[in-house]
Structure 1
Amino acid sequence: MSVIVEFRVSSEDFELGRILSVKGDSTVELETLVPLGDATVPLFWVHNASRDSFVEGVQQHPTVEEATPIDEFDDRTLFTLEWDTNQDALISALQANEGQILNAVGTPSTWKFEVRFSTHESLSVFSTDCEANEIGLEVTRVYNPSEPDVQPWYGLTEPQFEALTLAIGMGYYDIPRGCTTKELADEFGISDQAVTERLRRAIVALVGYTIPMVESKR
């Protein structure tokens, strides 16, 4: 079953982010990665940046052969990039695990990615590969695209979502605790034991939905 992950990564943590460096309010939007023989050619938009200065900066990188403008408008330019993909651990990890980039937008400091993997296991291996290459991923969302009604709650039922949200809001997981399970139970009009069990099931569901689980050896 496929899974979609949304994550942030520092522009300095991967080669393409360092190559496609922009300044101020400029952004880069990856259109697609086009396989061309043994190479992968990015097609991307650069918004609100000087074309000449951007190209000059890009072509200073030793892994870049050429950055070519394809189409130009008043506030954006479409480019292709010939470069050595093997120097980019993030892109290599995506390709090795058959990650499909659905959306990728870069700013001077951060890139936001939305990527589809065929299985949770592929996502898990991708994350491991990134960690091994010291690429700091900040995962902001993981969901199953075949269950759109479940996406907003990450696999939680509505009562579980409400209980977990209220518990966090009232400081139940703070140190020291900001409330008790009895106080949470009073908010819902249920027993202390019922709210405790609801929170337990919510955490199990959330972990099971967002983190690939490895079968335990007993």
Structure 2
Amino acid sequence: MVCASLTLTIPKRTWIGTVSRNHPSAEFRVRSAQSADAVGVGFVELLAEKPTEIIESIRSFDPVHTVEVFHQEPNRALLQIEADKPILLDVLDKAGVPVEMPFEIQNGQVEWKLTTTRNRLSTLGSALDESEVGYVVEHIHAKPEFDRILTNKQQRLIEAALRRGYYDSPRQCTQEDLAASLDMAKSTCSEILHRAEERIVKSFERGTESDRTAPRQTA
């Protein structure tokens, strides 16, 4: 698995590309979105000085079917927007990659964070290359898969340590507390923990070295 962060540039010809550029200080926070039968539906939080003006602007575009206002304040509105499938959803559907929600659109640009496989990430890159969306990969790094690099005992101990706050700062439990919670001798706990941490660090370093050779994508 890999974690990646991308900055995308939405084409000006799209309604969201036009509206967000016409109101560069406005933030469109997409809380959820889905598409079916070439139509996309998104639940969006709009943060702007004059949300009413922006909402009316959105409604004026032919691809936009409906805009429902669930809640509105002087500088904020919650909207459900139904429109012809947006270009961003089309790219995600083609790649089959889930993106972390919410993500923000501002002044024609989008920040995406995602966790997926290298093959899926490559498919996403191809889908973006075939679209009109420009993009830059800001960073990419490997995400350790505990079930692949650790033994069952090591995984059980690491997960318990995370739950109990052993790796928090400041630390919420001692190694002795951790061992007692698992009915384990402190010396045994220390040895298993050390070996697990060694595997995780080495796995991360292998992933980092691999990622250093990955080219930055631009369009």
Counterpart contact for 2:69–2:80, Cα < 8 Å: yes
Q: CA deviation at 1:105?
A: 0.9
The aligned counterpart of 2:128 is 130
Partner residue, 1:181: none
Pairing 1:44–2:58 present: no
Output the amino acid matched with 1:139: V
Residues 27 and 7 of structure 1: CA distance in aligned 2, closer, same or farther (over 3 Å): same
Distance, in Å, in 1 between the alignment partners of 2:12 and 2:137 is 15
Please say if 1:28 is aligned against 2:33. Answer: no
Provide the identity percentage: 12
Q: Distance in 2 between matches of 1:12 and 1:100?
A: 21
Q: What is the deviation of 1:114?
A: 1.5
Corresponding position of 2:210: 205
Are 1:113 and 2:112 counterparts?
yes
* Cα distance change on mapping 1:132 and 1:96 into 2, 3 Å: closer
Contact 1:47 1:76 (C-alpha < 8 Å) held by counterparts: yes
5+ residue gaps, structure 2, are 147-196, 198-202
Check 1:54–1:99 CA distance in 2 against 1; reply closer, same or farther (3 A cut): same
In 2, distance between residues paired with 1:145 and 1:16? 36
For this pair of structures, how many residues does the alignment match? 160
Contact 2:15/2:61 (CA < 8 Å) preserved in 1?
no
- Kindly provide the CA deviation profile for residues 65-94 of structure 1, in whole angstroms up to 9, marking residues without a partner as x: 011111223421111111111xx3432121
Q: Does residue 10 of the first structure (1) align with residue 9 of the second (2)?
A: yes
Measure the CA separation in 2 of the matches of 1:14 and 1:120: 31
Evaluate the alpha carbon distance shift between residue 121 and residue 155 of structure 1 in structure 2; reply closer, same or farther with a 3 A threshold: same
Structure 1: how far apart are the matches of 2:145 and 2:108? 33
Superposed counterparts of 1:164-203, under 5 Å: none
Q: TM-score of the superposition, structure 1-length normalised?
A: 0.60
Deviation at 1:137, TM superposition (A): 0.7
Report the Cα offset of residue 52 of structure 1. Answer: 2.0
Report the RMSD for the aligned CA atoms in angstroms. Answer: 3.4
Q: 1:124 to 1:36 in 2, by over 3 A?
A: closer
TM-score normalised over the length of structure 2:
0.60
Q: Counterpart amino acid of 1:99?
A: V
Shift in Å, 1:54: 0.8
Task: Sort the Cα spacing of 1:106 and 1:89 in 2 relative to 1 into closer, same or farther, 3 A.
Answer: closer
Matches for 1:142-181 after TM superposition, within 5 Å: 142-146=140-144, 155-156=204-205
Find the aligned partners of 2:39 and 2:136 in 1 and give their Cα distance: 28
Structure 1, gaps ≥5 residues long: 158-200, 212-218
8 Å Cα contact 1:14-1:89 kept in structure 2: no
Give how far 1:37 is off: 7.2
Which residue matches 1:186? none
